[in-house]
Amino acid sequence: MHFTFILILSIVALASLSACGDTLGEQALIGAGAGAGTALVLNGSVAGGALVGAAGNVAYCQAYPRRC
């Protein structure tokens, strides 16, 4: 049961990363939310997850704007 819960939340977190946002601020905010949520589910550092998520989403969206 616990594994299924983590799996579902991880899929939701990864899916939210695909929603890039239109502006740099939106991209950072969406990435931070996804990273923080993932870190929370995996019992990691929420602040670290938010930082990595924001940086990752902004970097991806800036590199591949048509995919966002």
Residue 18 pLDDT: 60
CB 34 within 8 A of CB 51: no
For the chain, what is the domain count? 1
| Cα–Cα dist 67/59, whole Å | 12
pLDDT at 51 over 90: yes
67 vs 26, higher pLDDT: 26
2 within a domain of the structure (yes/no): no
47 within a domain of the structure (yes/no): yes
39 within a domain of the structure (yes/no): yes
4 within a domain of the structure (yes/no): no
14 within a domain of the structure (yes/no): no
Domain around 45? 19-67
Q: What is the mean pLDDT of residues 23-44?
A: 89
CB atoms inside a 10 Å sphere around CB 36: 22
